[in-house]
Each structure stands twice: as C-alpha cells, then as structure tokens.
Structure 1
Amino acid sequence: MEQVGLREALDELIKKFHLRSNIKVEWNIHVPTKLDEERELAVYRMIQELLNNALKHSQASHIQLTLEVQNEEVQLHYIDNGIGIDMKKLNHCDGKLGLFGIKERVQGLGGTCEMTSQLGEGLDIRITIPL
C-alpha cells in the first residue's frame, strides 16, 4: 500500500466492491497527511472487513463511509441501511463476525470503537484512533 497511498488503495477496494455487489457506497476521505504505515494498513483492513461484512450479512443497499483526521486522531464513520445486528450477540464473540476483530484491532492501536445497531435498522460504527 505504501506505493499507492491510502486514498488510492481505498478507491481501488471500493471499485472492486462495486463489481461484486449492488450496494451503493458513498464515501468521503479527508486525510490530509500520510498516516504511519501501521495505521494506514489498519484503516484499510477495517474498511475491507466492514465492506465484506456488509456483503455477507447486512442485506444493505447503501453504505456511507467517512474517514477524516481531526484533533490528532483518525476518525472512521460507517453507516449502512441493512438489517442490523443484535448487539448482545456481537459482544459474545462468535467467530463469524469480523466486527469483533475490528474492535480488537482498534483497541490494539489505543482507539475506541462504538457500534450501534438495532435489528431492522442498519449498523452505525464510529472508530477513533489516536495519531
């Protein structure tokens, strides 16, 4: 990824996602500076996992993705209009949900991950990682 940069890598990821699914992804990336390699890779992998999760489980038709750097932290906001998930099940890790892995990855970087969802009402995830 260091050859192309995060924005270009995500652009490519989302283009490939559009070829595999009929989910519309609306995305805004405002990352003015290059992040360190560990954070760039982590953010890329998280977005990749969120898209894969949406494809496999969400039944969403629309995803909104925002990535920005503010107040010395990377902020990633994901929203979909899918079927939602039972948050109690998510908190008892079952290997099928990559969302649990995202939480662990964020915590490993000293960040926070807030997920809110109700069955039938989509998924809203806010991730914050300090720079």
Structure 2
Amino acid sequence: MENTEEERKRIAGDLHDSISHELLNLKSTLSQDTKVVSSKIDTIINDIRGISRNLHPIMFDKIGLVPNIEQLVERIQNQNNFFVSTEMNYSGSLSSANELQIYRIIQESLSNIIKYANAYAAKITLVEQPGNMLVEIKDNGKGFSIKETLNSGKAFGLHNIIERSRVIGGEAHINSSADGTVITINIPVKI
C-alpha cells in the first residue's frame, strides 16, 4: 500500500511538474505564432508518452525484457549527459511478471544514479547462468553510506529495489564506495 501511494505521489509530481507547466505555457502563447504553439503541443504529447511509458512500458509483454531495457537505456542516454553500457545474455527463462520486476529494478537504479551519484557512466549486466540469473547495475559515482541511507527514511528507491528482488525470489546486495555503487541481484531460475 505504501509503495502504491509513493508511486501515485511520483505520478502526480510528474503530471504537475511537466504537463501542468507546459499547458500553462501553451495557454500564455496561444496568441503567438502557430509554429510555437504546435511545438509546445508536441512537447506536452511527448511528456505524456514518457509518463505513460514509466507507468507500463509499451508492449512489454510482446517484445520482452531485453528490448525494453535497450529502449530505457536509449531514452536515458538521450535525455541526460550519461552513458550506459549493457551486457545482456538472456533467453526468456522468467515469467513476464518477474521480467517486469527486473525492468523496474533497473529503471529505479538508473534513476537513482542520475539523481544522486554524480556519475557519468553505468553498466547493466543481465546474464543467465545455470540455475541462476545475475542482474547487476554498476556506476562510477561518488558512492554513499548504505546503512545511513537505508535508515534515513528517504530511501524509497533502494527499499523498492530490495523488495522487488525478494518478490521474484532473489536477493539484492548493494556495495558502495567512493569509486561507485554496485547493485547485484541473484535470482534462482529453472532453465
């Protein structure tokens, strides 16, 4: 329930900060050139698409985990001055629901890196091994105190990653130092 409320709060913030702001700008420019108005409408449409994609990736069930991660990485690199490399060797051994949890873990991890790490690069690893799936998100940021952050009451994203890992039968390990942060999740799978 707490996660649902936090997600609603985030969506409300997204709508307020982007869509509402853009609509107010559009309203004030209606007397201007139609090209300017058209451009602002395009911006609003793209913002709505972005929020929708964050709610549920387009065609997730149809195209699968790897293409959705690739789209996420491309979007993040285009929207931020940030480089993300990937190493993915995955043939689809998990259910769609578990794949969506992994996608959300990666999405949350990248969001945290961009907001807090002062990193300029990250690497996502998704590798199937006999009886195990390895998910790793690594950055070259400034690091943080894991214990302090988890106990601060403000680490919703980290707690979300840990809980999503548990939901799919895995366990998240977080290591952080001045050289960066590594989140490693091992998920038992039947291949």
TM-score by length of 2: 0.64
Partner residue in 1 for 2:180: 122
Identity across matched positions, percent:
29
**Structure 2 unaligned blocks of 5 or more:** 1-59
Instruction: Verify: 1:91 aligned to 2:150, yes or no.
Output: yes
State the structure with more CA Rg: 2
Instruction: Verify: 1:77 aligned to 2:161, yes or no.
Output: no
When structure 1 is superposed on structure 2, of 83-92 and 10-19 the one drifting more is 83-92
| Counterpart-to-counterpart distance in 2, 1:4 and 1:17 | 19
Partner residue in 2 for 1:110: 169
| Counterpart-to-counterpart distance in 1, 2:129 and 2:138 | 19
| CA displacement, residues 22-67 of structure 1 (integer Å, 9 cap, x when unaligned) | 1111111100235211211011000100111111111101101110
| Counterpart-to-counterpart distance in 2, 1:93 and 1:67 | 30
CA RMSD between the two structures: 1.4
When structure 1 is superposed on structure 2, of 85-94 and 11-20 the one drifting more is 85-94
| Counterpart-to-counterpart distance in 2, 1:16 and 1:69 | 25
> What amino acid is the match of 1:126?
T
**Structure 1 unaligned blocks of 5 or more:** none
TM-score by length of 1: 0.91
Higher strand share goes to which structure?
1
CA contact (8 A) 1:83 1:122 kept: yes
Give SS of 2:174's match.
strand
- The alignment of Structure 1 onto Structure 2 pairs a total of residues equal to 130
Structure with higher RCO (Cα < 8 A, 6+ apart): 1
| Counterpart-to-counterpart distance in 2, 1:97 and 1:81 | 22
| Counterpart-to-counterpart distance in 2, 1:109 and 1:7 | 17
Higher helix share goes to which structure?
2
CA contact (8 A) 1:90 1:97 kept: no
Q: 1:58 to 1:23 in 2, by over 3 A?
A: same
In structure 2, which of residues 86, 94, 104 is the aligned counterpart of residue 27 of structure 1?
A: 86
